[in-house]
Amino acid sequence: MLCNVGNVNFSGRPEILQSIAYATEGKNRVIGSPGHEATVKWIQDHLDTSYYDVSLQGVELSIGVNATLTANNKTIEAFATTLAPNGNATGSLVAIPNLGCEEADFAESLDGKIALIKRGTCSYGVKVQLAAAKGASAVIAYNNGEGTLEGYSLQVFSDPAMPFVPTIGITQGQGEALLAQLENGVSVSVALTSEAKLYTTYNVIAETKGGDHDNVIHVSGHSDSVTAGPGINDNGSGTISLLEVAIQLTNFTVVNAVRFSWWTAEEAGLLGAEYYVKQLSQAEKEKIRLLLDFDMMASPNFAYQIYDGDGSAYNLTGPAGSAEAEHEFAAYFDSIGLNHTEIEFDGRSDYGPFLEAGIAAGGIAGGAEGIKTQEEFEMFGGGAGLNREAWIEFSRAIAHMTANVQRIVVSCELKEEMNKIDGDEGSSAGCRRGGEKNEDGPSAEELDWDEAPEGMVKRAHIC
């Protein structure tokens, strides 16, 4: 069965992704690297083109490749920043207060000067745009924690109305040393170079040939890693889980079309998913009845986390349909006796651009950089290495939702059908994009799925 993903060809694939990464100089699968190119090809090669229409969507990015920096003739190690332009700059260094996320942080003119700004709170693209608007010729970003800013990104696409300037990254210690000099009244003269190359990276998209293409269930995860390693958990685990579900789905018939997407450039700021959503017409957006995104399924210190689509835990409610997705995941975990908890629906992964477009979304995750509470440790345990048992359970949950998410679509379709019978065709807007949620409409749990009206979209025949 599709739901029994743990019993099929799951093992061996993490090792394949690691070997893909380790075959490259950087030992990673970051965008612009041979490792990511090979990952995209590996995904594409495993998709059955007799069952799926498979395509690659190119996303052109400026990827940082090299940077240099001297301050008062002292060389400092620096890293180029993705999405920042090529360029050279010399001038006096100026420290920007309060993280540089507000226009008020840039009180003075920066004409011909170079801005020193700490990482944090907002995307670095916002900081650079604000500095450039004040006349800065370049920006030096410094970290707010351990490690370098190798592979760092401005995280937002450029806007001709608010252009970027050359931007390079340094460590927290290096940045704080420069800041201390400025605070002690020392004038710091800076020279820097930033080198970037234009590069086309790819989303992989596979849609079932069968099923209703006006009612699409969209299942996704990102295919790239950070520069620091091969990214087997983040997000090789999601990549592999999606691929396994896509492979198993070919044994079944679907009623509603299922679209799988492996996004590029998530680690650079959700850029692949954002580009995809921006290319959609309003009509195409309305055909996506639910987006399910899966990022980090094999955390060794895992928790079974469900995105808080109904806002009950974090007071951030998703578009209509998001609550039903959360409830379906919760019901599934309850049915197999697994503890679960909620995670903030804050748009930090590739579902974010879909939320902004008003598209219902949901998903599960195993945990990110936060520290597990004592209560969560008691609920889920934890340890070192990939947790394959948790990963298998996450993958089964993905398969379950891919098979049974038709319920959410049916709830909207049934509401619309009932409205037509009542002569009120306009009150079901909450089921589609751009309307208010219908609090009085039937929920997924209230419907008898085996008794949906003739002609309605019914559960897919896959689980």
Q: How far apart are the first and last CA of the chain?
A: 6
Nearest alpha-carbon partner for 205 in 279, 269, 144, 137: 279
| Token pair listed for 315 | 């007071």
Give residues with Cβ within 8 angstroms of 351, minimum separation 6. 220, 273, 291, 293, 307, 361, 362, 363
Beta bridge partners of 88: 193
- CA-to-CA distance for 77 and 153, rounded, in angstroms? 17
> Which is the catalytic residue, given 150, 266, 393, 413?
266
Other C-beta atoms lying within 10 Å of the C-beta of residue 315: 9
- CA-to-CA distance for 418 and 7, rounded, in angstroms? 42
Handedness of CA 272, 276, 278, 279 (dihedral sign): positive
CA atoms within 13 A on the CB side of 48: 12
Nearest alpha-carbon partner for 202 in 271, 295, 277, 281: 271
Beta bridge partners of 90: 191
Q: Is 183 a catalytic residue?
A: no
Q: Which residues are catalytic?
A: 266
